[in-house]
Amino acid sequence: MRRVSAKKTPPKRTSRSKSSKTGKTPFGRLLLFTFGVLFVVLFVGVVYNYRNGLLYYLGFKTDKNVNELTEDEREIEDIRIFEVLSRHDTQLVGFDVSEYQSEIEWGKIDKIEEEFPLSFVFIRATAGSAKTDSRYKENWEAAKEHYFVRGAYHYYRPNENSIAQAENFIRTVKLKKGDLPPVLDIEKLPRKQSVDSLKVGLRRWLKHVEKHYKVKPIIYSGESYYTDFLKKEFKGYPLWIANYNFFVERIQKDWHFWQFTEKAQVPGIKGMVDVNVFNGDSEDLKALCIQ
């Protein structure tokens, strides 16, 4: 007997609305609209905040050496430099140099971005226990001849004896009335000792140098390095902080100096230069200097 199979009914397919397939539900549309509005507000805010720098670049950009950076990188850095200096137009601006800048034409140094006068300069004098910057003497004398307030700094090498490093600086640097206090530049962690041992050495250098010059030295370091390793134990020293973050717009109240870029271009100096803002006016700078 032949069996007749029952006709199978195909399963019902649950239909999805067109809006569900594309994600265009009312909630989805609201979410997209909200994100769109936030993006536009953020974009307009950034453009407004950096309007002066953008206008400067679009309308008044000068011909500059772009060998060290790509053209786009140079444009971005120029805008940031102009913006930072514009925000600090009542404060003093300076720079720092070493033998890495080669021979400097001091007579050409006047302003940065053709608008902001340069008032002070930090010059590397020594590094470690035996190194003397090969251009320290000529830079030190030239800075004085061209009426810059000058300061000398020592690059600290964590794995070398701290007192020997202090003596190296003292032998090399003869500070006079009107010069900035000596500077201890600390940027690296030790390879052969603990951080606690490093701090002992830094403290010895600072005390030895302070005893000789009768003035409290300035500490230079990156913001993160200073916060993580030095802040608790070295309060009370004048601070020169390096922070190149694009989103840091103003000098902090506890910073005496802010090195906000290492990529500036200064007439008379080959290559890129560090530029600094001082947290005060000429009278404040004079009060900080050796009396």
In whole angstroms, give the CA distance from residue 78 to residue 81.
5
In the chain, the amino acid numbered 244 is Y
| CA distance linking residue 15 with residue 92, whole number of Å | 71
Cα separation, 18 vs 138, whole angstroms: 77
Complete DSSP assignment for 146-174:
TT-EEEEEEE--TTS-HHHHHHHHHHH--
Q: Is 57 helix (H, G, I), strand (E, B) or coil?
A: helix
Is 114 designated active site?
A: no
Residue ranges of alpha helices (H) inside the chain are 18-22, 26-49, 51-60, 71-87, 136-145, 162-172, 195-213, 223-225, 282-288
Beta bridge partners of 96: 122, 274
For the chain, the first-to-last Cα distance in angstroms comes to 123
Catalytic residue among 75, 78, 96, 274: 96
Structure-block tokens of residue 184: 């201890």
Structure tokens at 115: 């608008």
Instruction: Quote the CA–CA distance of 134 and 125 in Å, as a whole number.
Output: 8
Beta bridge partners of 153: 124, 183
Tokens of 76: 């971005």
Q: Which of 187, 254, 262, 281 is catalytic?
A: 187
Q: Any catalytic annotation for residue 103? A: no
Q: Round to whole Å and give the CA distance between 33 and 19.
A: 16
The 3-class SS string of 168-180 reads: HHHHHCCCCCCCC
Q: Which residues are catalytic?
A: 96, 187
